[in-house]
A = this chain, B = another copy of it.
Amino acid sequence: MKKYNFSAGPAILPASVLKEAAKGVVNYQGSGLGLIELSHRGSEFSAVIEEATALMRELLELPDGYHVLWMTGGASSQFFMIPMNLLNPDETAVYIDTGTWANKAIKEAKAFGNIEVAASSKADNYNHIPKGVRISAKAKYLHITSNNTIFGTQYQRFPKSPIPVVCDMSSDMLSRPVDVRPFGLIYAGAQKNLGPAGVTTVIVREDMLGTVSRHLPSMLDYRTFSTNDSMYNTPPVFPIYVTMLTLRWLKKLGGTKAIQRRNKAKAKLLYQEIDANPMFLGTAAREDRSLMNACFVMAKGYESLEAEFLKETKENGLIGLKGHRSVGGFRASIYNAMPKKGVEALCELMRDFAVRKG
């Protein structure tokens, strides 16, 4: 049985990437040695990290002045590293609260400066993205979360901001074209759209750095990574390798424009089914629906069938569909690497289930 992996992260990776990665583990490019047992200073891995960086630049269409950094610790570590590197104790940063992760970013930032939460959709269980938020030009940066994995919402248009935008793109990085120029910093844990767990990409504009007065340990200073091409210490070799392979795959596919078309088509299929099917109900505001994570529950009157439907998804090879406890129901994560056939299989089961149980 063909399996489709709807996990929110770590998440599905292209089959061709997994195959190539496995080969590299035992015998890298016919060298007789595995990539993960070779020195990171050797020519083999140097070529890998250089290509990963070049591909990231190309796919994001990065202008000059932006650094591509390969770090560890996940987006969770960026939550404190961002204010630690960018915000002095007497300065203010503006945050928009669109869910669990935005909330954690706010909580961690508070230790480093004044944090102004300009808008929050918490009262509505984060079912939408606050709009028309006025951002103070006096603040140092605006922090947003572009896609909210748990609640299935996503900025379809980024807010207008008079100050540099700092954005957690962990769950929709490179899923669509983005004009990076308003962004001072973009970060993403790899394990959704970019690669496996264990590496975090940080894109940072040079002018954002060097403006805080506090002491920064070497490993917490973005400049340590930018001036050493992310090789100040041993980087996470395998996660970077698999990320590079995934970026190659994305480029070959046609880059962000091509993947956006595919992602839109997949999401359209799924949301059409959710809306047409009397047994299911989408939880996010329509205009803010995420193209990456579709959240839905059993419609009124059918709540008792939730466990049964979930059981059937597993029996049909559709993995990882249980919704986060904050929303309940189901969550279908349909990242870049999810083939359309996976979404079709899910829609078919939903239709079939409704007919049988309706």
Binding site for B on A (CB under 8 A): 1-3, 5, 7-13, 18-19, 21-23, 25-26, 31-34, 36-40, 42, 72-77, 79-80, 84, 104, 108, 111, 189, 191, 196-199, 215, 217-220, 232-239, 242, 317, 319-320
Q: List 29 A-B contacts (CB under 8 A).
A: A2-B32, A5-B37, A7-B37, A7-B39, A9-B39, A10-B39, A12-B37, A18-B25, A19-B26, A22-B23, A36-B196, A38-B320, A72-B74, A72-B198, A74-B233, A77-B219, A79-B219, A80-B217, A80-B220, A108-B217, A108-B218, A111-B215, A191-B237, A196-B237, A197-B234, A197-B235, A197-B237, A197-B238, A198-B238
Which residue in B21, B33, B39, B189 is a CB contact (below 8 Å) of A25?
A: B21
Q: Give min CB distance, A233 to chain B, whole Å.
A: 4
Question: A111-B217, A234-B189, A236-B197 given as contacts; is B11 within 8 A of A37 (CB)?
Answer: yes
B10 contacts A237, C-beta separation under 8 Å: yes
Is A18 in contact with B39, judged by CB distance below 8 angstroms?
Answer: no
Pick the residue among B18, B32, B219 that contacts A37 (CB under 8 A): B18
Closest to A190 in B: B234
Alpha-carbon distance between A32 and B3 when the two chains are bound, in angstroms: 7
Asked, given contacts A196-B238, A233-B74, whether A34 binds B9 with beta carbons under 8 Å apart, the answer is no
When all copies of this chain in the complex are counted, the total is 2
Query: Do most interface residues of chain A lie in helix, strand or loop, or is the interface mixed?
Result: loop
Residue in B40, B84, B198, B232 whose CB lies within 8 Å of A236:
B198
Q: How far is the CA of A305 from the CA of B196 in the complex (A)?
A: 45
B10, B37, B80, B191: the one within 8 Å of A196 (CB): B37
A7 to B31, CA, bound (A): 15
Contact in complex: B38, A5 (CB < 8 Å)? yes
Our pick among B3, B234, B320 for the contact of A39 (Cβ within 8 Å) is: B320
Residues of B within 8 A of A215 (CB): 111
Q: Is A7 a contact of B38 with CB atoms below 8 Å?
A: yes
Smallest distance from the beta carbon of A358 to chain B beta carbons, Å? 31
> What is the bound-complex CA distance between A325 and B16, given in angstroms?
40
Given contacts A18-B37, A198-B235, 16 further A-B contacts (CB under 8 A): A3-B32, A7-B38, A8-B39, A13-B34, A13-B37, A37-B196, A42-B320, A72-B74, A72-B236, A75-B233, A191-B234, A196-B238, A197-B235, A197-B236, A197-B238, A238-B239
Q: Which residues of B contact A74 (CB under 8 A)?
A: 72, 219, 233-234
| Residue in contact with A9 in the complex, picked from B77, B191, B234, CB distance below 8 Å | B234
Chain B residue numbers with a CB within 8 Å of A238 are: 196-198, 238-239
Name the residue on B nearest A233 (C-beta): B76
CB distance from A183 to the nearest CB of B (A): 23
Please measure, in the bound complex, the distance between the C-alpha atom of A21 and the C-alpha atom of B196, giving whole angstroms.
Answer: 14
